[in-house]
């Protein structure tokens, strides 16, 4: 095959992909969204008719497929005994997570007197084709404790016209359960506002919006962003919990599978979504347990303490809570261990900000010297500032500035300009009044 033939084939493949099922569904939905006077139900009915011939690949079956009668609303329930293991964790460990830790993770004092026994874990799967009122949650996954058993209840909307009924059932369930808090992963930006919108459109109120809400995405980023390549839920489940899960179904495929089910009645298109939703809720539960366990490690002896990267994460949580002293102690312990270069610089920055506020110059200078030995340009700059403005030793400030400039020449034009300006000022001061002046007061 020559080059022209290869290019023609690649072009044909791209065009075929652009005409694929998922693309045709999204294009049809976009057109329907621009039509005035149609209800969401009418738009969905037209979407099914318009894309009826664009069925996607299905697993091979040994017998001809006969769709089952479609049920408007189904509720699936799975239970997990207290001693059930998920990855390296036990489900019952969640019941030991107290409000003191939850308030740090959620950055909300409302969690102080709560625990996970009265929390609802929420995760939605949606049509995902448009924002605002055009997006329908067709699967509402709820995790909660019933006594000591963890339950995952999944409300599946088999007929979009019955959304009002599903929301009515959910409303009654929320009132009966009397949850005290909500826990999600990116739920502040997506799940809870979307569900509230659906309730408002049905002229109903969503009681969950009145409860303390811990969106664990923010806590996860604080605890583990510096440690792991990704803070996606399934990735952290693998790395932190050691859960045996893969990305079972791409998120972009979920809306297409739902619309394919509406056309065909093949519930096999939905079963992987139910599994994916369960795994996300279990992963979220596991991450909360794992995050909470890091706090119980805080007072361990240095010789047997946790991973220095975990100390950094908990230190950042305390810093966000305004507990600078606790944060500083953890950062100091983390630096005793081996940290990746970028993380070490970040920790020294955070720690020395507090040390400067406390006027603890001895500790700060020691950290900057260690950092300069590791060729961290930031530390040269801080030492130059200290010797010029605090110690009053212009000669030492010049020496450090020259070393920092030599390092910055190879790395950053911004840092280079800063050191050049600083060096010019120091030379002028030295020519005017000598290399050392009286030590300034701290």
- Give the right CATH number for 73-293 from 3.30.420.10, 3.40.720.10, 3.40.50.880, 3.40.47.10: 3.30.420.10
Q: Cα(345)–Cα(324) distance, rounded to whole angstroms?
A: 18
Tokens (6 digits) for 113 = 């007197």
Q: What is the pLDDT of residue 45?
A: 61
Give the model confidence (pLDDT) of 90-136 as tens digits.
Answer: 999 999 999 999 999 999 999 999 999 999 999 999 998 555 667 99
Those residues whose C-beta lies under 8 Å from the C-beta of residue 129, and which sit 6 or more positions away, are 25, 26, 29, 30, 135, 255
> How do residues 258-316 score in pLDDT, each as one tens digit?
999 999 999 999 999 999 999 999 999 999 999 999 998 655 444 456 899 999 999 99
How many Cβ atoms sit within 10 Å of the Cβ of residue 219? Answer: 23
What's the CA gap between 55 and 321, in Å, rounded? 52
Tell me whether strands 85-86 and 137-146 are parallel, antiparallel or unpaired.
unpaired
Question: What is the arithmetic mean of pLDDT over 148-163?
Answer: 97
Dump pLDDT digits (tens) for 104-117. 999 999 999 999 99
From 27, 292, 258, 51, select the one nearest 139 (Cα to Cα): 258
- The pLDDT, as a whole number, for residue 297 is 64
Give the pLDDT confidence score for residue 53 in this predicted structure.
Answer: 42
Q: Which CATH number fits domain 302-433: 3.40.50.970, 3.40.50.720, 3.50.50.60, 1.25.40.10?
A: 1.25.40.10
Q: Give me the residue spans of the domains in the chain.
A: 3-50, 73-293, 302-433
Calpha distance 75→85 (Å, rounded): 25
Q: Is the pLDDT of residue 162 over 60?
A: yes
185-198 pLDDT per residue, tens: 999 999 999 999 99
């Amino acid at each position: 095959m020559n080059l022209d033939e290869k290019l023609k084939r690649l072009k044909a493949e791209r065009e075929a992909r652009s005409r694929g099922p998922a693309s045709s569904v999204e294009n049809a939905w976009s057109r329907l969204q621009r039509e005035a006077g149609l209800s969401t139900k009418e738009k969905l009915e037209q979407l099914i008719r318009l894309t009826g011939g664009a069925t996607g690949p299905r697993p091979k079956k040994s017998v001809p497929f006969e769709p089952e009668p479609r049920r408007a609303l189904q509720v699936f329930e799975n239970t997990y005994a207290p001693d059930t293991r998920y990855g390296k964790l036990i489900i019952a460990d969640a019941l030991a997570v107290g409000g003191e830790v939850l308030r740090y993770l959620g950055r909300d004092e409302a969690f102080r007197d709560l625990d996970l026994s009265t929390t609802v874990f929420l995760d939605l799967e949606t049509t995902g084709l448009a924002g605002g009122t055009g997006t329908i949650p067709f699967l509402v996954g709820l995790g909660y404790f019933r006594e000591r058993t963890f339950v995952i209840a999944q409300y599946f909307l088999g007929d979009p016209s019955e959304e009002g009924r599903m929301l009515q059932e959910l409303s009654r369930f929320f009132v009966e359960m009397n949850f005290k808090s909500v826990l999600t992963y990116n739920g502040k930006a997506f799940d809870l506002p979307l569900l509230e919108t659906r309730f408002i459109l049905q002229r109903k109120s969503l009681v969950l919006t009145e409860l303390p809400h811990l969106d664990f995405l923010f806590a996860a980023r604080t605890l583990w962003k510096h440690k792991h390549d990704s803070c996606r839920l399934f990735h952290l489940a693998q790395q932190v919990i050691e859960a045996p899960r893969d990305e079972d179904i791409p998120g972009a495929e979920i809306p297409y599978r739902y619309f394919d089910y509406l056309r065909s009645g093949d519930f096999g298109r939905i079963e992987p979504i139910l599994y994916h939703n369960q795994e996300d809720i279990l992963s979220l539960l596991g991450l909360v347990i794992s995050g909470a366990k890091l706090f119980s490690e805080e007072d361990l002896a240095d010789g047997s303490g946790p991973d220095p990267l975990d100390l950094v994460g908990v230190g950042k949580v305390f810093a966000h809570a305004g507990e600078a002293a606790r944060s500083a102690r953890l950062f100091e312990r983390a630096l005793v261990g081996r940290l990746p270069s970028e993380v070490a610089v970040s920790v020294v920055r955070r720690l020395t900000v507090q040390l400067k506020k406390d006027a603890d110059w001895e500790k700060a200078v020691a950290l900057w010297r260690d950092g300069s030995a590791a060729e961290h340009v930031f530390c040269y700059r801080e030492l130059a500032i200290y010797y010029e403005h605090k110690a009053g030793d212009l000669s030492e400030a010049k020496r450090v500035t020259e070393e920092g400039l030599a390092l910055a020449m190879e790395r950053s034009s911004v840092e280079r300009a800063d050191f050049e300006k600083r060096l010019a000022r120091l030379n002028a001061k030295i020519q005017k009044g000598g290399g050392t002046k009286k030590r300034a007061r701290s």
